Structure 1
C-alpha cells in the first residue's frame, strides 16, 4: 500500500473526495476533454521523462530511483518531501501495479502545453488503464516539475468492450478481488446492489493482524471522510425543520472561542458544506504534538481551530476543509440542543437502521472493529504498521466514524426513500454549487454515462473507503478497506464494469 504520498501523488490524492473522483474516471467520458491515443510516442522532453519514470518503476531499483530524483526532479518539487518518502511512493506504485506496459500517448483537443505528457499505461496487476501525467520545465535539462498517476479512460484505439449483465459484473469482480487478495493488495469488504437488492458481496483479508482475525461482512471499518455525508444529512434535517438556514452566518451558532469574529461574521453554513469557506484542516502541527486523549467531544477541538485563517474570500473558490465539517458538527449541537454524536444516532443512523455505524471511542471495548494498516519495506521484508497512534481517538463530524458495507446500503435506501430528509432537500444537497461544480452539500456529485451519481470517499493511513449511489441507474456500491488506498483498485474496477452494463 502507498504511504507518505505528498511527493508524487499529492495532486491526484490530496483529499478523499478526489479519490472517489478518480474511481469514476472510467465512467466520466462525457465530462472530460476530447482525446485520441497514438501508439508512437513523440520524442519530446516531457514524454522522454515520463517513459524514464515508468522504466524506474518497472525495475524497482532504489538507488537508481534516488539518483534520478536528485538529478531530474526540480529542487522545489524534490524538496516537497524527504527522499525516503519519494522512495516509498515509488515502492507503493510498483506494488500496486507490478509494473506497467506502455500503450500510447494521449493527445487532447484543445492541446495541452508541450511541457506536458500524458502516457497511457496498462497495469500488470489489475489489468486496468492508468495514465502517468508529467510536466517538465520549459528549458534544458527539462527537469520534472510535477508528476502523478491516475486512472484513465479506455484508449481510443481499443475496440468497444462487451456489455455485461449484473451476474457477469459480479463474476468478474469476484475474480478480480480474489486476485488482489491473493497478492495481499486488498483487505476489506465490498457490496454491489441494484435498486436496493444486493447482487454481490465479498469479505477478504485480516481485520486484526495481532490475532489474525478475518474480515467479515459485518466487520466495522473506519470510513475516514466518508462520514461527512452523515454530518451533511444532520445539517439538512435541521434546515428542513427550520432550525437553521444554509445562508446563516456561522457566528449565529458559534462563539469567539471557535474563530475570530470577522470569520464568524463572514462564512456561511453553505460554504462549510461545499468546501468554499476558505478554512483549512485542524489536522495541523498542534494536533500532531497533542495527545489523542484530548479530543473526544466536538468542543475539544477548539484549540486546533481558534487560530485558523481564511485562505481566500469565502465563496470565491473550492478547497477541501476538514475544519469546515468539524464546525458543522458544532452547529448541529447548537441548533438541535443535542450532543453531535447523540443527534446522529437518534436522527440519522437510527432511523436508517445502521446498527453497526458510530464514532466509537477507541480506548473502550468495541467489538468487531478492523485495525488499519499500511505496508512498509523493512530490512527483512514487509512490515505492517497499524494506524492506532496516528488517527483520532474518536471520529467526528469531519470523519473517522466506523460502518459496514451493509449499513451503507441501509443509508442508501433511507436517503432514496426520503426517510432522512425530504426529496426536495436531497435535490439541493445533490446539486453542484457556485465554485463547487462536483460537490454539493457533503456529497460529491457527478454526471456519468449511466446518469447522475453521488457519494464520498475516505482515506488516511490504514483507511480507505468509497461509496457511490447512481441515482438514475439504481446501482449502489461500497468498498471498505483497512489498507491505506486499498479500496481504490476495487472501486476503479467496479466503475469500469458498471460502465459496461
Structure 2
C-alpha cells in the first residue's frame, strides 16, 4: 500500500472542492434524515443520529427514533452516546502529538516508560513490545474485555453497583498469561494495549489523559459535545439498550429513570472512554483524516498500517485507524465502536473528502452479528455523501 499516494489524493480532493450552496446542504440534510428514517423503520432500533462532514467543512445532521423509549423522549442530533472504540483514534492521535513534541517515539520499548511499575514484569511480552506495537495491535496481548475472568468479575461489580476497575486492576487480568504471539509477528485487537498507551501518555506528559485530549484536540478543534465517559451521570446521554443476557449482567435498559447509568463506564478509559455526538465525530474524523488535526505533519505516521489478516487483503490497521485501501469508493479510513448498549461508526472517504458518522443506542442484533445494520447503513450513507458531489 503506497500511503503517500493515498494521502496526496485525499488532500487534493479536499482542497479543490467548492463550498456547497445553502440550499444543497439543506437538501442533503433532508436526504440524510430520510435515509436514517428508512433504516429505523426496517431495523426497529430505538434511535440513531448521523452526520456527514462535507469537503468544505460544513456538516449535515439528522436524528430518528427515541433517546428514551420508556419516557418517549425523542432522539435529537445533539444527543450524546458512548463512542466506544472510536476513542482509540484520540488515544493514537495523542501519542502522535507527543511524538511530534519529542517526548516519546513509536520505536520506544514500553519498558522505557513503564518498566518501573510493580506489575510490569508480569505482562505478556513485557520486555519486547514497543509503542508502535501497541498502537497497531501487534503486541501479542490478550483482549481483557473478552476474557471469561474479566466478564465474570465485571458482572459481579456491576451487580453490586461498585466502582470500575482501575487501569492497573485491568492489567491484572492479563498478568502472567502467555502472549498470543511475539510482538510484530501477527495482529490481534486488544483494548488492553490501549490501556497501556493511556498510562504512557500520562507518564510522559505529566497530565491526565483527558486533560491531554482536551488541550490538544477537543478545545482547539471546537468539539464541545465530546466529553469523558468517566462518570455515571453524562449530560445529554441517550439511554442505551443492551442485549438481554449479555456477559456483564446488564439490564436491557442501562440507565435509571433519571438517565443515570447503572454501571460505571469509566472502566473503558483509553480503550474508548468518550461520549460524543455524530456531529462531533464527523468533524473529528474530517480533521484527523484530512490532515488538519495537528500543526505538525502526522498523516504518514497515522496511516502507516500493518495487515490485519492474510485472509483480509487490503485491510490494514494504522495508528488507531482501520484502513481499507481498495474499495469501490476508494480508500476508506475510520473506526467502529461498540460498548454494551451503544454502537458507533466513523468513516472517511479519502477520494471524495467526505466523512460519515452515526450512532445507535442499542447493540441488539449488532454485537452478535445477527444483523447487517451497521454495514448496510455505512454503505447507504457513504453513497449519499459521495453522491452529493456527482
TM (norm. structure 2) is 0.75
* Superposed counterparts of 1:289-308, under 5 Å: 289-290=153-154, 291=157, 293-295=162-164, 298-308=167-177
Counterpart check, 1:179 vs 2:41: no
Specify which of 117, 121, 133 is matched with residue 271 of structure 1.
133
Partner-residue secondary structure (3-state), 2:104: coil
The aligned residue for residue 9 of structure 2 is none
> Aligned partners of 2:25 and 2:209: how far apart in 1?
39
2:217, 2:293 within 8 Å by CA — same for their partners in 1? no
Counterpart check, 1:430 vs 2:303: yes
1:278, 1:310 within 8 Å by CA — same for their partners in 2? yes
Stretches of structure 1 lacking an aligned partner (at least 5 in a row): 1-164, 378-382
Q: How much has 1:208 moved relative to structure 2?
A: 2.5
Specify which of 308, 311, 333 is matched with residue 180 of structure 2.
311
> Aligned partners of 2:37 and 2:307: how far apart in 1?
42
> Cα–Cα, structure 1 residues 246 and 298, in superposed 2: closer, same or farther, change >3 Å?
same
> Aligned partners of 1:173 and 1:208: how far apart in 2?
22
> Aligned partners of 2:285 and 2:345: how far apart in 1?
13
2:46, 2:67 within 8 Å by CA — same for their partners in 1? no
Measured against aligned partners, the alpha-carbon deviations of 1:22-70 in whole angstroms (never above 9, x if no partner) come to xxxxxxxxxxxxxxxxxxxxxxxxxxxxxxxxxxxxxxxxxxxxxxxxx
2:230, 2:273 within 8 Å by CA — same for their partners in 1? no
Counterpart check, 1:246 vs 2:124: no
The aligned residue for residue 403 of structure 1 is 276
Partner-residue secondary structure (3-state), 1:271: helix
The aligned residue for residue 142 of structure 2 is 280
The aligned residue for residue 157 of structure 1 is none
1:276, 1:435 within 8 Å by CA — same for their partners in 2? no
Partner-residue secondary structure (3-state), 1:420: coil
Q: How much has 1:302 moved relative to structure 2?
A: 3.5
Q: How much has 1:227 moved relative to structure 2?
A: 0.6
> Aligned partners of 2:63 and 2:277: how far apart in 1?
11
**Range 242-251 or range 434-443, more displaced:** 434-443
Stretches of structure 2 lacking an aligned partner (at least 5 in a row): 1-23, 246-250, 256-260, 310-314, 367-372
Measured against aligned partners, the alpha-carbon deviations of 1:303-359 in whole angstroms (never above 9, x if no partner) come to 334334310111111111111111111111111111112222222222221112122
Q: How much has 1:294 moved relative to structure 2?
A: 4.0
> Cα–Cα, structure 1 residues 261 and 490, in superposed 2: closer, same or farther, change >3 Å?
closer
> Cα–Cα, structure 1 residues 472 and 410, in superposed 2: closer, same or farther, change >3 Å?
same
The aligned residue for residue 377 of structure 2 is 490
Counterpart check, 1:468 vs 2:347: yes
Q: How much has 1:190 moved relative to structure 2?
A: 0.4
Matched residues, number: 330
1:458, 1:465 within 8 Å by CA — same for their partners in 2? yes
> Aligned partners of 1:347 and 1:405: how far apart in 2?
20
2:36, 2:63 within 8 Å by CA — same for their partners in 1? no
* Superposed counterparts of 1:406-417, under 5 Å: 406-415=279-288, 416-417=290-291
Q: How much has 1:454 moved relative to structure 2?
A: 1.0
The aligned residue for residue 317 of structure 2 is 439
> Aligned partners of 1:268 and 1:414: how far apart in 2?
27
The aligned residue for residue 98 of structure 1 is none
Counterpart check, 1:370 vs 2:242: no
Higher normalized contact order (CA 8 Å, seq sep 6+, divided by chain length): 2
* Superposed counterparts of 1:124-163, under 5 Å: none
Larger Rg: 1
1:276, 1:318 within 8 Å by CA — same for their partners in 2? yes
User: Going by fraction, where is strand more abundant, 1 or 2?
Assistant: 1
2:335, 2:347 within 8 Å by CA — same for their partners in 1? yes
1:191, 1:201 within 8 Å by CA — same for their partners in 2? yes
Specify which of 325, 328, 334 is matched with residue 197 of structure 2.
328
CA RMSD of aligned residues (A): 2.9
> Aligned partners of 1:497 and 1:251: how far apart in 2?
47
Counterpart check, 1:418 vs 2:305: no
> Cα–Cα, structure 1 residues 406 and 302, in superposed 2: closer, same or farther, change >3 Å?
same
